[in-house]
Structure 1
Amino acid sequence: MSKVLTEQQIKDAAVEIEVPYAALKAVIEVEARSSGFFSTGEPAILFERHKFWEQLGDIHWFTMRLKIMAKHPRICNKFAGGYGRYSEQHDKLRIAASYNRDIALQSASWGIGQVMGYHWEALGYPSLQSFINDMYHSEARQLEAMIRYIKVNNLVDELQRGDWAGFARGYNGKGYAKNNYDEKLRQAYNKYA
C-alpha cells in the first residue's frame, strides 16, 4: 500500500463529510504544504516547544521543565517559536522524548493535517501510540485524523460555507490571523474550485 494520498481518497473524504473537494484540498495544501511525510520517510511534524512546556506542567514537572528549558530552550519554552527547519523537527522530538516520550509525542503537530498529538483521545484513538502508528502508516490515515479533528471541533459547517476565518479560528486558534491563515485557505480553495 502506498503512503501517498490519492486525489480519489481526498474526494471520498470530502463526500463523507459533505464538504467541497476544493475546501478539503485547500486545508491539506495549507496545513502540510501538500505532503504528509518528509523526504526521510518520517511523518511531517512541527514540534511545538511551548506545548511541551505546557504539557510538562500538566503532569506537574515544574522543576524539570525549568531544567529542560535551561539546557534546551528550542525544545522546551514558555513561548512559541524557535521552530527551525523542517529537517530538525524529528531531532527535536527525539530530544524531548528522552525526557518524557508521551508528552513529546503529544507536543508535535502531525501529518497532512498537522493535528496536535495531544488530541488523540478526543479524536477517538484507543491510545497515543495508535494515533502515532497511523501518522507513520500513510497519508490516508493522516487524512482520517484530520477529518476526525474537523468533525470533533464542529468545523464542517465552516468548510461548507467557505467561512475561512471561522474555520481558521477553530482549526488553528485565535492567532490564525497573524499568519493570514484564512487568506491562504481562500486562495488555495479558489485554485481548486
Structure 2
Amino acid sequence: MITATEFERSARIIGCETAVIRAVAKVESNGAGFDAQGKLKILFEPHVFWKQLQAQGIDPDRHKTAYADVLYKEYRQEHGPYNIQWQKLNRAKQLQETAALQSASYGMFQIMGFNFKAAGFTNVYAMINAFTISEDEQLKGFINFIVANKLSADLREKDFTAFARKYNGPAYAKNAYDVKIRQYYQQFAQEVTKR
C-alpha cells in the first residue's frame, strides 16, 4: 500500500493536495492497484485494441468476427467485471501481443498501455513489470504521466472536469468521472481537517 508520506511527496511534485491524488485513485480503481488475489488490476478496452491493431499495420476488420469478444470499433460502456479482464487480454494477445498489452489500463490509476512513454517507460512491457511490483511504482507512473501531459494545473486548481476530459477521454461525462472525483476529494479533504 502507498504510505501517506509517498502520497504527500507525489502531491508536492505536482503542487496539489494529497486528497486530490487519493480521489483520482479511488475513482480509477477503487483505491487499489491489485485485486483481492494480489493480481494487478487491469481493464481491457476492445475499441482501443481496434486502433492499436491498425497502428501495428493489421486490419481489424479481418478479425472482428473471430475476436468479437475482444475487438470492436466503437466504445461501449459495459466492460464486464474486473475478474475477467486478464482473460480478455490473454485472448487478444493471441491475435497481436503488443497491441493487446497497449489496449488495457493498469493499476491504481488505470494508465493505458499505449501511454507507457508518458508514464516514464521505454515500452509497455517495462510499465507492466514495474506496476506489478507495487502501488508505489504505479504512483510514480501516474505522476510522470501527469507531468508529461501537463495536467498538474488541473489537479492544483481542482478543475476536475478539465482533468477528467483529458485523462479519461470523451466518455468521461457518461461515466461522471469528474463528479465522482470531486465527491471523493471532498471526503478525503474532510478526513485531513478532522485529524
Give the TM-score range, shorter chain.
Answer: over 0.9
For 1:163-174, list aligned pairs within 5 A. Answer: 163-174=159-170
User: Partner of 2:41 in structure 1?
Assistant: 44
RMSD of equivalent CA atoms: 1.3
User: Partner of 1:7 in structure 2?
Assistant: 4
Match of 2:105, SS state, is strand
User: 2:120, 2:138 → 1: CA distance?
Assistant: 14
Say whether the 8 Å CA contact 2:45–2:103 is kept in structure 1: yes
Deviation of 1:149 after TM superposition, in Å, equals 1.3
1:23 aligns with 2:9: no
User: 1:91, 1:100 → 2: CA distance?
Assistant: 15
Gaps of 5+ in 2: 190-195
Deviations 1:39-76 (A, max 9, x none): 232211100000001110112211xx234321222211
Partner of residue 136 from structure 2, selected from 131, 134, 140: 140
User: 2:81, 2:69 → 1: CA distance?
Assistant: 12
Say whether the 8 Å CA contact 2:117–2:123 is kept in structure 1: yes
Amino acid paired to 2:71: C
Gaps of 5+ in 1: none
Q: Would you say how many aligned residue pairs link Structure 1 and Structure 2?
A: 188
Partner of residue 108 from structure 2, selected from 103, 106, 112: 112
User: 1:180, 1:70 → 2: CA distance?
Assistant: 32
For 1:1-193, list aligned pairs within 5 A. Answer: 4-62=1-59, 65-81=60-76, 82-193=78-189
Deviation of 1:128 after TM superposition, in Å, equals 2.1
Amino acid paired to 1:72: Y
User: 2:66, 2:7 → 1: CA distance?
Assistant: 43
User: 1:45, 1:114 → 2: CA distance?
Assistant: 7
User: 1:122, 1:139 → 2: CA distance?
Assistant: 18
Match of 1:149, SS state, is helix
Moved over 4 A (4+): none
Match of 1:46, SS state, is strand
User: 1:26, 1:9 → 2: CA distance?
Assistant: 15
